[in-house]
Amino acid sequence: MANKYRKDFPLLNNTDFAYLDNSATSQRPASVIAADAAFYEHSNANPLRGSYPLSVEATAVYENARKKVKAFIGAKLSKEIVFTRNTTESINLVAYSYGLSNVKAGDEVLVSIMEHHSNLLPWQMVCRATGADLKFIECDMDGSIDLDKIRGQITDKTKIVAITQVSNVLGRKNPIKEIAQIAHEKGAVIVVDGAQSTPHMKIDVRELDADFFAFSGHKLLGPMGIGVLYGRKELLSAMPPFLSGGEMIETVTREGAKYAELPHKFEAGTVNAAGAAGLDAAIDYINYIGYDNMEALENELTSRAFYGLKEIPHVNIIGSDNPLEHTGIISFTIDDVHPHDISEVLAADKIAVRSGHHCAQPLLTHLGVSSSARASFMFYNTNEEVDRFLESVKTLRSRMGFSN
């Protein structure tokens, strides 16, 4: 069944590697690569600047992509969609622009312990700069978080709750809607890191009641170098620019500038229109498959890998004991084997997985491991690839010189 889609991905047909590092970046279908190239072949001019037809066309490609993203995540207005380079830049935009203007000494910023460094370091910066306190939502060993505890942690002092919808290590989905409700009751805003959720599940930012929602195109079958920040219009309107210069102004004098309307106020400099065109095509491709279909395929692959790993002695899976709570992500360790050796041996068998701290060091410390290996699956992977992965893991310890 997965092979029906696999043929759409040129790289997968050009490699004999089993690509199981999809959480780092996905592969792209030919339609995305073509859309990126088509921009340069047919529509290339600097968007939003010229009044000649080619520039108008480039602008249309760019702004149509914004409309596509708006509908894709259920935003109300296109002006609530800001194009960035990636999730990291989107979150930094919120931290520098909203955070530094709205947080003061004595306030609190609440993050979860499972945050990727991209949703942690910007908040450390805000707290250092303002004198606010950074607090942590803890998780259990299975990755679950306790809403009752969170209710006690979000107080009148809390100004920002920054949390990932899906952890890139645990794969577990957090109850964003419920946390947003608690945050809003106390007058805090919620910043959601959607880097690992958007590739796997339907997002509706209004249903979630997210104030800010960040994601990257490259994890979502789209190009590298294009990301999205969704922000509620009232919040974005009141925020100062993050970067300044060309393209984000209305008028400039010797002394100052009047900034452009949303969303252009936050898109300084020449934009990534080809990337936006690619993201537009990626969304079309996802809509063509449908998240239900994708989820069913990914659940099958994840369950096969999960239960296969469970049967191999000395393998320890991190997080929930239910493969359906892993969103295609399985992080694991093998007794006495360094995770870098795991990925090296698997690479020798032409299987690509990631090892290390996955840019989530505080989480790994909390879980009592310094690093792990991680296999991550997408709908275009196959049972055969999962079986190759399991075979390789099965023989790994003996190939490292262990007798059992």
**Minimum distance from residue 185 beta carbon to ligand C6P (Å):** 26
Instruction: Rule CB under 6 A: say whether 168 interacts with ligand C6P.
Output: yes
Candidates 263, 277, 242; CA nearest to 81 is: 263
CB closer to ligand C6P out of 58 and 221: 221
User: Judged by CB under 6 A, which of 216, 272, 299, 355 binds ligand C6P?
Assistant: 216
Closest distance to ligand C6P from the beta carbon of 19 (Å)? 13
Candidates 116, 159, 264, 304; binder of ligand C6P (CB under 6 A) is: 116
Q: Which of positions 19-48 make contact with ligand C6P (CB under 6 A)?
A: 23-24
> For ligand C6P, which is the closer residue by CB, 155 or 370?
370
User: What is d(CA 318, CA 172) in angstroms, rounded to the nearest whole number?
Assistant: 11
Quickly list DSSP for 192-252.
Answer: EE-TTTTTTS---HHHHT-SEEEEEGGGTTS-TT-EEEEE-HHHHHHSPPSS-STTSEEEE
Give the contact letters, 351-370, x = binds to ligand C6P (CB under 6 A), - = no.
---x---xx-----------
* Number of residues near ligand C6P (by CB under 6 A): 17
Q: Which two three-digit tokens encode residue 175? A: 């109850």
Nearer to ligand C6P, 24 or 257 (CB): 24
Residue 355 to residues 194, 339, 341, 360, 401: CA-CA distances in angstroms? Answer: 22, 6, 9, 12, 20
Quote the least distance from Cβ 271 to ligand C6P, whole Å: 17
Residue (118 or 392) nearer to ligand C6P, CB: 118
C-beta atoms surrounding 79 within 10 Å: 18
Backbone phi, then psi, for 363, in 5-degree steps?
-65, -45
For the CA atoms of 222, 225, 226, 232, the dihedral, rounded to the nearest 10 degrees, stands at 140
3-state secondary structure 25-52: CCCCCHHHHHHHHHHHHHHCCCCCCCCC
Quick check: 164 binds ligand C6P (CB under 6 A)? Answer: yes
Active site residue 127: no
Enumerate residues 6+ apart whose C-beta is below 8 A from 51: none
* Orientation angle between helical segments 291-310 and 273-289, nearest 10 degrees: 80
118 binds ligand C6P (CB under 6 A): yes
86 counts as binding ligand C6P under rule CB under 6 A: yes
Which of these segments, 143-151, 190-198, 232-240, 261-269, binds ligand C6P (CB under 6 A)? Answer: 190-198
Which residues, in sequence order, are CB contacts of 259 under 8 Å at separation 6+? 241, 248, 249, 250, 265
Name the residue nearer to ligand C6P (CB basis): 23 or 97: 23
Would you count residue 198 as binding ligand C6P (CB under 6 A)?
no
| 230, 263 contact by CB (below 8 A) | no
Closest CB to ligand C6P among residues 265, 374: 374
The single residue of 125, 359, 369, 400 carrying the catalytic annotation is 359
Q: Which stretch binds ligand C6P (CB under 6 A): 115-123, 152-160, 264-272, 295-303?
A: 115-123
Among 43, 88, 92, 372, binds ligand C6P (CB under 6 A): 88
CB of 329 to ligand C6P, least distance (A): 9
| Nearer residue to ligand C6P within complex by CB, 97 or 168 | 168
Contact 342, 315 (CB under 8 A): no
Measured from the CB of residue 173, what is the shortest distance to ligand C6P in angstroms?
12
| Shortest spacing between CB 354 and ligand C6P, in angstroms | 6
114-122, 150-158, 199-207, 255-263 -> range binding ligand C6P (CB under 6 A): 114-122
Q: Does residue 392 bind ligand C6P (CB under 6 A)?
A: no
Contact between residue 351 and residue 395 where contact means Cβ atoms under 8 Å apart: no
Please tell me whether residue 196 binds ligand C6P under the rule CB under 6 A: yes
313: number of Cβ within 10 Å = 9
Q: Given the DSSP bridges, would you call strands 354-356 and 329-334 parallel, antiparallel or unpaired?
A: unpaired
- Kindly tell me which of 24 and 324 has the beta carbon lying closer to ligand C6P: 24
The pair of three-digit structure tokens given for residue 258, joined into one six-digit string: 């009047």
- Contact region for ligand C6P (CB under 6 A) — 57-65, 99-107, 132-140, 189-197? 189-197
Closest alpha carbon to 111 in 152, 141, 150: 150
- Residues contributing to the site for ligand C6P (CB under 6 A): 23-24, 86-88, 116, 118-119, 164, 168, 193, 195-196, 216, 354, 358-359
Residues with active-site annotation:
359
